């Protein structure tokens, strides 16, 4: 009952303060509007007329064509006679891309693979590549994709953007967690209102959980808002339809959600513990900013190092980033994601225990 | 008389930081705040801890309220040890000090219910107590006003009723009238007398002689963390509390300032 009252108090504090709600949800709305507007500016053409050299046969071609038409664009398939000529046509802007399927591709045989050559310097080329990628993710990605660009490679930047999405999610979770937790824990300690609760017979563990549980929910809300803002605006920014999200199965979404869900209480627990240790919001803010940089660096590591082995799933936060990247790349990393969730939850429990100890420490709570 | 509070050999020391050592020009690393304090308080009486600033009064009350632990010694409040059963002690005491604050965003109504639940009170009892106390202190008109918008006097009244929301048997007040205007101070002192009449035991700390003379049944004089004199108000004051205190202080410290 006491724990419930503590949790309700935090929710009451948040949901009855319009300023807090606005500051939490605003980033997502702003991101969505900004990116969507940017997408509208970039892709002002009424419709695209794509010309794609095609080699080999596959049902995927019909799917790609269907998606292009769904977006209000047209595609003309040209027979590939000479790759050299086709590449020159792409560079001259007379064609969009080359798409090649190996023989008997649809049976997903041993040597099945897809090749894409496109102009990474044109919006049409990038649009076609993104669209093909999303369709291929949808069919399972049980084959290699050979990607080539005809200009100096901006591919690194594109791949970075794709692999950076989990990193962005972690940053949003941290930012959302900071915005509510610093005020709620360090702020209450600084103002002396936490001490008033400590005089009651509520257990220190309940007080710690009474902060971490509701603040995690609120942070999740803020992070979701920011994530939706970016996720819903990215198709527009890249000139695609929302159908790109249909490329993932329900399981993929479930694994993504589980990975995110395990990181939120962990990050909130870290910020809560640091806030409990700090004397003021200012001090806590300085410490957590340092922590945020650390988490950002850890999360970025996975973007630059492509295969780090399964040991990364033992490292809190990083494990969720890698799991999300794996799932977004079309894999179903069930055991790895579950291991990440388990480890993150164990770490959260450890931090709840530590915060309970800190709340019981007079040097921490009442030391000058 | 039923003994409600028994403190035995309470001792508390604090570490002095380098900065504090520099400011106070001392080489000592630990400061004794309370030094082997022993006293008893009884049911239905107001016991006052009298002493100058820094004598150890607040530290003593904070130990009794279980906010800090004694280095050695113990105190038993209605059979519960502050060292071994701090959770039980917190349910039988009401502690009020300027150190404890209320969140300005919430209303008195919300905070009263919240702290009632923190003490495990059931809803019906809580509602009845809120009606009584809010009416008694004129808080009912401001029940839905955020605490940050209340006047200092009203805020003090709200803090007072919230500290005793669970109808505790022992009430601990650190400098109860500090910073209050004369009207609010009278409301508080009158209420302490009323609580005493209800059989509650009250422990308060103060450096104001008139407050001790007006309220206290028994007094403990603290100087430099030690209880140097204890007795009924008549025994300690010997007719004039202020004169007696300064004579005692001079005898112990050999100086007045």
* Helix H or strand E encompassing B4: strand B3-15
Q: How many domains does chain A have?
A: 2
Q: Which residues of B209-246 are buried (b: 16+ CB within 10 A; e: fewer)?
A: bebbeebbbbbbbbbbbbbebbeebeebbeeebeebbe
Residues A169, A280 within the same domain: yes
Q: Tell which of B118, B147, B168 to mutate to test the A interface (max A CBs under 10 Å).
A: B118
User: Rounded CA gap, A343 and A325, in Å?
Assistant: 18
Same domain, A346 and A218: yes
pLDDT category at B183 given cuts 50, 70, 90 is confident
Q: Which residue of A has its CA nearest to B70?
A: A362
Compute the radius of gyration of chain B from its Cα atoms. 19
Spell out the per-residue pLDDT of chain A, length 368, in tens: 789 999 999 999 888 887 777 777 777 777 777 777 766 666 555 678 899 999 888 888 888 888 888 888 889 999 988 888 998 888 888 898 999 988 877 777 777 888 899 887 677 887 888 888 878 877 766 677 777 777 655 444 445 555 667 888 888 888 888 888 998 999 999 998 998 999 898 999 999 999 999 999 998 888 788 777 776 766 665 555 555 555 566 777 788 888 888 999 999 999 999 999 998 999 999 999 998 888 888 777 776 666 667 777 888 888 888 888 777 766 667 888 889 999 999 999 999 999 999 998 888 888 76
Same domain, A322 and A360: yes
Quote the minimal CA–CA distance from A364 to chain B in Å. Answer: 11
Q: Identify whether residues A215 and A324 lie together within a single domain.
A: yes
- Which of A153, A177, A203 marks a domain boundary? A153
Residues A138, A231, single domain; the answer is no
Task: Please name the member of B69, B100, B114 whose beta carbon is closest to the beta carbon of A362.
Answer: B69
Domain that holds residue A322: 2-36+160-366
Cβ contacts below 8 Å, chain A against chain B, sum to: 64
CA pair distance A344, A321, nearest whole angstrom: 12
Q: Which of A118, A153, A188 is the last residue of a domain?
A: A153
A275 and A198 part of one domain: yes
CA angle A210, A211, A212 (to 5 degrees): 100
Higher pLDDT, A109 or B48: B48
Q: Do A200 and B115 touch (CB under 8 A)?
A: yes
| A231 and A349 in a common domain | yes
Question: A272 with A326, same domain?
Answer: yes
- Name the residue among A188, A198, A201 with its Cβ closest to that of B120: A201
Average pLDDT for B189-210: 91
Residue B218: what pLDDT?
94
Q: Are residues A297 and A178 in the same domain?
A: yes
CATH of the domain at A106: 3.40.190
Taking a C-beta distance cutoff of 8 angstroms, is the pair B159, B111 a contact? no
What ipTM was estimated for this complex?
0.86
Alpha-carbon distance of A289 to A294, in angstroms, equals 9
* B101–A200 C-beta distance less than 8 A: no
Query: Would you call B87 and A188 a contact, using CB atoms and an 8 Å cutoff?
Result: no
- Which pLDDT score, from 0 to 100, does residue A156 have? 46
CA distances from B174 to A195, A215, B96, B100 (A): 15, 33, 6, 11
A97, A130, A153 - which closes a domain:
A153
* φ, ψ (nearest 5 deg) of residue A148: -135, 145
Q: Are residues A322 and A261 in the same domain?
A: yes
Structural domains of chain B sorted by starting position, each given as residue range(s) with its CATH number in brackets: 3-253 (3.40.50.300)
Interface of B with A (CB under 8 A): 62, 65-69, 87-88, 90-91, 95, 99-103, 105-106, 110, 114-115, 117-120
Distances, alpha carbon A104 to alpha carbons A59, A98, A112, in Å: 11, 18, 7
pLDDT score at A148: 78
- Interface mutation target, options B23, B103, B173, chain A, most CBs of A under 10 Å: B103
pLDDT tier at B240 (50, 70, 90 boundaries)? confident
Q: Could you say which of B87, B99, B105 has the minimum Cβ distance to residue A13? A: B105
User: What residues of A are in the B interface, CB distance below 8 Å?
Assistant: 1-2, 5-6, 9, 12-13, 16-17, 188, 191-193, 195-203, 362, 365-366
Q: Do A124 and A247 lie in a common domain?
A: no
Where are the extended beta strands (E) located within B138-194? 170-174
| Cβ atoms of residues A58 and A105 within 8 Å | yes
CA distances from B44 to A229, B81, B115, B218 (A): 64, 20, 25, 11
Alpha-carbon gap, residue B124 to B255, rounded angstroms: 57
Tell me which chain A residue has its CA closest to the CA of residue B86. A201
The whole-angstrom distance between residue B80's C-alpha and the CA centroid of its chain comes to: 18
DSSP secondary structure, B199-232, as one string:
T-EEEEEES-HHHHHHH-SEEEEEETTEEEEEEE
Look over chain B and give the mean of its residue pLDDT values, rounded to a whole number: 90
A29 min Cα distance to partner chain B (Å): 27
- B-chain CB neighbours of A9 within 8 Å are 106, 114
A302 and A348 within one domain:
yes
Closest by CA position to B174, among listed B244, B252, B103, B94: B94
Q: Work out the minimum CA distance from A219 to partner chain B, whole angstroms.
A: 20
Per-residue model confidence (pLDDT) at position A158:
46
């Amino acid at each position: 009952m006491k724990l419930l009252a503590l949790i309700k108090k935090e929710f009451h504090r948040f949901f009855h303060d319009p300023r807090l709600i606005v500051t939490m949800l605003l980033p997502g709305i702003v991101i969505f509007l900004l990116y969507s507007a940017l997408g509208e500016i970039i892709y002002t053409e009424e419709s695209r007329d794509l010309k794609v050299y095609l080699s080999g046969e596959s049902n995927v071609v019909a799917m790609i064509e269907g998606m292009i038409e769904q977006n209000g664009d047209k595609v003309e398939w040209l027979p590939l006679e000479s790759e050299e000529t086709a590449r020159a046509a792409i560079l001259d802007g007379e064609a969009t891309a080359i798409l090649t399927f190996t023989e008997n591709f649809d049976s997903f045989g041993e040597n099945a693979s897809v090749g894409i050559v496109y102009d990474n310097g044109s919006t049409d080329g990038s649009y076609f590549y993104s669209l093909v990628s999303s369709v291929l993710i949808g069919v399972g990605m049980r084959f290699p994709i050979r990607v080539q660009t005809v200009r100096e490679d901006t591919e690194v930047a594109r791949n970075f953007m794709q692999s950076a999405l989990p990193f962005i999610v972690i940053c949003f979770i941290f930012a959302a967690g900071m915005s509510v937790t610093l005020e709620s824990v360090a702020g209450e300690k600084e103002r002396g209102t936490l001490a008033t609760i400590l005089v009651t017979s509520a257990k220190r563990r309940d007080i710690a959980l009474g902060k971490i549980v509701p603040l995690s929910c609120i942070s999740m809300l803020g992070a979701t808002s920011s994530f939706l803002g970016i996720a819903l605006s990215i198709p527009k920014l890249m000139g695609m339809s929302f159908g790109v999200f249909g490329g993932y199965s329900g399981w993929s979404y479930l694994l993504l959600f589980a990975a995110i869900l395990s990181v939120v209480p962990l990050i909130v627990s870290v910020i809560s513990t640091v806030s409990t240790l700090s004397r003021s919001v200012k001090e806590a803010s300085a410490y957590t900013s340092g922590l945020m940089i650390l988490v950002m660096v850890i999360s970025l590591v996975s973007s630059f190092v492509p295969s780090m082995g399964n040991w990364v799933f033992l490292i809190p936060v990083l494990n969720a980033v890698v799991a999300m990247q794996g799932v977004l790349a079309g894999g179903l990393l069930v055991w790895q994601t579950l291991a990440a969730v388990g480890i993150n939850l164990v770490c959260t429990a450890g931090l709840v225990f530590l915060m309970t100890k800190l709340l019981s420490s007079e040097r921490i709570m009442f030391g000058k | 008389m039923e003994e409600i509070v028994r403190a035995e050999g309470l001792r508390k020391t604090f570490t002095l930081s380098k900065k504090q050592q520099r400011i106070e020009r001392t080489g000592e690393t630990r400061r004794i705040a309370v030094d082997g304090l022993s006293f008893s308080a009884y049911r239905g009486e107001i016991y006052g801890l009298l002493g100058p600033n820094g004598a150890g009064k607040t530290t003593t009350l904070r130990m009794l309220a279980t906010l800090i632990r004694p280095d050695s010694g113990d105190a038993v409040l209605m059979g519960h040890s502050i060292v071994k059963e701090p959770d039980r002690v917190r349910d039988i005491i009401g502690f009020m000090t300027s150190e404890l604050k209320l969140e300005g965003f919430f209303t008195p109504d919300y905070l009263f219910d919240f702290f009632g639940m923190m003490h495990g009170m059931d809803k019906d009892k809580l509602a009845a107590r809120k009606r009584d106390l809010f009416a008694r202190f004129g808080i009912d008109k401001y029940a839905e006003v955020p605490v940050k918008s209340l006047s200092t006097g009203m805020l003090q009244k709200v803090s007072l009723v919230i500290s005793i929301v669970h109808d505790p048997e022992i009430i601990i007040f650190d400098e109860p009238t500090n910073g209050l205007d004369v009207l609010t101070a009278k409301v508080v002192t009158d209420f302490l007398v009323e609580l005493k009449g209800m059989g509650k035991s009250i422990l308060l700390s103060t450096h104001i002689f008139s407050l001790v003379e007006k309220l206290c049944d028994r007094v403990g004089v603290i100087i430099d963390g030690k209880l140097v004199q204890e007795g009924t108000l008549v025994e300690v004051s010997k007719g004039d509390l202020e004169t007696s205190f300064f004579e005692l202080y001079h005898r112990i410290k050999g100086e007045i300032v």
